[in-house]
Amino acid sequence: MKRAALVLPLLLLALPARAEDAALRHARALLKRAVLIDGHNDLPWAIRIAKERPGDVAAYDLRKRTPGATDLPRLRLGGVGGQFWSVFVPADSGSGFARMQLEQLELARRMVARYPDALELALTAADVERIFRSGKIASLLGMEGGHVLENSLGALRAYYDLGARYLTITHGTTTDWADAAGSTARHGGLTPFGEEVVREMNRLGMLVDLSHVTPDTMEDALRVSAAPVIFSHSSAYALCKVPRNVPDAVLSALPKNGGVVMVTFVGSFVSQPAADVAMPLWEKVVARSAGVSDDAERERLYKETFAGVTLPKATIAQVADHVEHVRRIAGPGHVGLGGDYDGNDQVPEGMEDVSSYPNLFAELIRRGWSDQDLTKLAGANVLRALRQAEAVAARLRKERPPSIATIERLDGKK
């Protein structure tokens, strides 16, 4: 009797751990057969600003543990099958945007080429599926911020030819043709030239990315775009009220367009208490960094502003809440994931690096998600959006030539 009294509590204590292990095993098994495509990883920028030998893809060896959140062993542990590598250029660094964009595209392509056994450049949805079946990680390139066009549609086409498959319409600063979230809105959304940028992206087959833009810009892009849009790394405004997140009105409009919100893991975009502390500091960083072109100095200003500040930690449960909110409002066909690793030092507990995706899937499994909806979340939704964008482009290229519109002609700007 005494022995039974001791054994029963021990068995009860063991049950939750076994349940968690079962969910995690389920998640890992699912991610072996379902391609997981993350919408945004800033590894190319991390390499550019690396403390030791900045910009050296050989020195930043992805075969071993890196100083950041991303390397090949951890990508494998995380079940990542496809990755949009962000070829980010700061919007408030002053000038030289096109030069820096070319450098980042070239750096990312060198990074991918250095590991031919593990990574392969993907330009189409079919490429992603083929590369995933081969056991490698499909590597797509996404530009972050329309300032890199320097108001040129010819530059947009050149970037597409170099492999860019999405453009985030703005980064943190309003451009001459589109309003950015957290910046001064000057246009009420997109200008006529901004609308032409969207139409030309549709003609190319480049995904329109609406992370970082205002709700007015989101709504204008949804009205103009003939192809699905994406939000490469955004969360739900209803759960965390920061300008970077997507309001319910936009989520409700998404099914008609076919777009996908790829929920991000940035703590201050996921947790309201974290946002309440972080957002005023971000405003200081933006103000202090304006016009600073030196990458190292910009990084120093960021670290100095946040030094000594402890943000409330976000949790996997909160990330899952955002995923479920997007699914509830927009539907299971319109949600994905965009971790923002290596551009984000505010990761939720349990989501510290790219090995952590199975933890989130396990949380959703415990909440009753079906394998069908998990597969859509992992990558099927964004693959469908990319495939549709390619089909729209094939049609539009037959209907019209490359646009020769200029911002001077459409917006009357010099």
Q: Give, for 263, the enclosing helix (H) or strand (E).
A: strand 260-263
Task: Tell me whether residue 212 is one of the annotated catalytic residues.
Answer: yes
Half-sphere exposure of 38 (CA within 13 A, CB side): 29
Q: What is the dihedral of CA 161, 135, 266, 238, to 10 degrees?
A: 90
Annotated catalytic residue: which of 144, 219, 220, 373?
144
Q: Clarify whether 216 is annotated catalytic.
A: no
- According to DSSP, residue 162 is labeled T
Q: In the annotation, is 233 catalytic?
A: yes
Tell me which residue of 360, 331, 363 sits closest to 347, measured CA to CA.
Answer: 360
Catalytic residue among 212, 322, 325, 334: 212
- CA dist 145 to 91, 97, 160, Å? 7, 10, 14
Cα angle, residue 370 at apex, residues 316 and 70 outer, rounded to 5°: 40
Tokens of 336: 């994905």
Task: Look up 147 and say whether it is catalytic.
Answer: no
* Annotation marks residue 42 as catalytic: yes
Residues 6+ apart with CB under 8 A from 100: 89, 93, 148
Q: What letter does residue 71 receive in the DSSP assignment? A: -
| 325 is a catalytic site residue | no
Pick the catalytic residue from 38, 40, 71, 363: 40
Q: Compute the chain's Rg from CA coordinates.
A: 21
Q: How large is the greatest C-alpha to C-alpha distance in the chain, in angstroms?
A: 89
DSSP conformation class of 343: S
Site of tokens 């021990």: 10
Q: Give the integer Cα–Cα distance in Å for 85 and 173.
A: 21
Instruction: Check if the beta carbon of residue 75 is closer than 8 Å to that of residue 137.
Output: yes
SS3 117: coil
- Which residues does 405 contact at the CB level (< 8 Å), separation at least 6? 153, 193, 196
**Is 144 one of the catalytic residues?**
yes
Please pick, among 220, 340, 363, 390, the residue that the annotation labels catalytic.
340
Query: Catalytic pick from 71, 129, 171, 220?
Result: 171
Catalytic residue numbers?
40, 42, 144, 171, 212, 233, 340
